[in-house]
């Protein structure tokens, strides 16, 4: 058995961002939607930089129109995750892409996704939990609508609330109402910070939104005081090294700060973010980390213990997937 064969816990995966380009092309074909501009000649997604990535992502989402589309997508992505050894996965689900914030429509999408997740659990042995996500560059008012959808559907498999999107738009504090609403509904909280925003963005996320996990957070490496704060507050980072390398934060895995953050005592975990966009899988992330830092089976087992402890699920689920 190699490190890449180990059972894995993944905490940071965007549901739409996990759609393979061939899947999106097939739906575009069925619905007669022209998406030719978002693919390279070799069929992969084509983007230049982070903001262009976000725009290509949103174009791909245009073909994901119905609950049935999300049913198909959920089965496909959970089968792929399970094939990579993932036994527990949390995915980000956006009301913006599932009915545009209409609560009745959102419920229909969730029912379809849950149905597919039940089938995937039976067939592939993988457990799904949903983290409802607002999109930062859609603005605070839209985020409130997402939080309302999240609060109304909080329950056994919708267990968290978060925020993705362009970190340079507005401030974390602009989204306080949405996060308070989700917290009051019993949801656990995470937000993207310290990916394209600097250390202050991570600090703001913890102080202003009260998140217990941070998506990425890797730019904390620039600020030793923040590293100490993350350690003291036991904040877990959802680190996505392959995503960071493709989006140009670091030139390669060797230069990625995950090992330094871990050695400083920060709780780090490993995820893929949007695997087909970044030409990665959980298996590849493990292989690359093992190669870059010499991590062995016990390092990855510890990483997975950290991830499971920070997972937004109940104790029964934690015990079952362990």
The residues carrying an active-site annotation are 195
Q: What is the nearest approach in angstroms of ligand ADE to the Cβ of residue 52?
A: 12
Q: How far apart are CA 154 and CA 182, in angstroms?
A: 8
Q: How many residues belong to the site for ligand ADE (CB under 6 A)?
A: 10
Among ligand ADE, Zn ion, none, the one that 17 touches (CB under a kind-dependent 5 to 8 A) is ligand ADE
**Residue 16 in contact with Zn ion, rule: CB under 5 A:** no
Q: What is the nearest approach in angstroms of Zn ion to the Cβ of residue 94?
A: 11
Please report, as residue ranges, which positions from 147 to 176 form the binding site for ligand ADE (by CB under 6 A).
164-165
Tally of CA atoms within 13 A in the half-sphere of 179 that contains its CB? 24
Contact with ligand ADE (CB under 6 A) among 80, 96, 229, 273: 273
Q: How far apart are CA 193 and CA 175, in angstroms?
A: 13
* Residue 214: φ, ψ to 5°: -125, 130
Q: How far apart are CA 22 and CA 193, in angstroms?
A: 30
Please report, as residue ranges, which positions from 13 to 52 form the binding site for ligand ADE (by CB under 6 A).
14, 17
**Residue 10 in contact with Zn ion, rule: CB under 5 A:** no
Check if the beta carbon of residue 182 is closer than 8 Å to that of residue 132: yes
Q: Interface mask (CB under 6 A) for ligand ADE, residues 201-240, using x and -?
A: ----------------------------------------
Please report, as residue ranges, which positions from 265 to 284 form the binding site for Zn ion (by CB under 5 A).
273
Which residue, 99 or 164, is less far from ligand ADE as judged by CB?
164
Which residue, 67 or 256, is less far from Zn ion as judged by CB?
256
CA 38 to chain centre: 21
Handedness of CA 7, 308, 181, 177 (dihedral sign): negative
Q: How far apart are CA 224 and CA 221, in angstroms?
A: 7
Among Zn ion, ligand ADE, none, the one that 285 touches (CB under a kind-dependent 5 to 8 A) is none
Q: Indicate the burial class of 174 (C-beta count within 10 angstroms; 0-12, 13-18, 19 or more).
A: middle
Q: What is the nearest approach in angstroms of ligand ADE to the Cβ of residue 165?
A: 5
Check if the beta carbon of residue 81 is closer than 8 Å to that of residue 280: no
The site for Zn ion (CB under 5 A) is made up of 273
The site for ligand ADE (CB under 6 A) is made up of 14, 17, 57, 164-165, 192, 195, 243, 273-274
């Amino acid at each position: 058995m190699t490190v890449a064969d180990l059972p894995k816990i993944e905490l940071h995966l965007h549901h739409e961002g996990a759609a393979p380009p061939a899947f999106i092309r097939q739906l575009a074909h069925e619905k007669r939607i022209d998406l030719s501009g978002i693919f390279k000649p070799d069929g992969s997604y084509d983007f230049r930089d982070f903001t262009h990535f976000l725009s290509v992502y949103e174009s791909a989402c245009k073909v994901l129109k119905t609950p049935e589309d999300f049913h198909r997508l959920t089965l496909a992505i959970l089968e792929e995750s399970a094939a990579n050894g993932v036994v527990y996965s949390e995915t980000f689900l956006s009301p913006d892409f599932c009915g545009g914030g209409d609560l009745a429509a959102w419920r229909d999408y969730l029912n379809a996704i849950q149905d597919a997740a039940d089938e995937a659990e039976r067939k592939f042995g993988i457990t799904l939990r949903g983290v409802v996500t607002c999109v930062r560059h859609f603005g605070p008012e839209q985020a409130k609508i997402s939080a309302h959808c999240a609060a109304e559907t909080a329950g056994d498999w919708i267990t968290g609330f978060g925020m993705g999107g362009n970190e340079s738009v507005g401030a974390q504090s602009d989204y306080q109402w949405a996060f308070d609403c989700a917290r009051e509904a019993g949801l656990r909280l995470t937000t993207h910070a310290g990916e394209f925003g600097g250390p202050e963005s991570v600090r703001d996320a913890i102080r202003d939104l009260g998140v217990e996990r941070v998506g990425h957070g890797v730019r904390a490496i620039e600020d030793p005081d923040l590293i100490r704060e993350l350690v003291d507050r036991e904040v877990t980072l959802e680190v996505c090294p392959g995503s960071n390398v493709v989006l140009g934060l670091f030139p390669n895995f060797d230069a990625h700060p995950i090992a330094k953050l871990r050695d400083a005592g920060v709780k780090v975990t490993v995820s893929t973010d949007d695997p087909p966009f970044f030409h990665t899988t959980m298996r590849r992330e493990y292989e690359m980390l093992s190669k870059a830092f010499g991590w062995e089976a016990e390092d990855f087992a510890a990483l997975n213990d950290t991830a499971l402890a920070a997972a937004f699920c109940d104790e029964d689920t934690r015990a079952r997937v362990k």
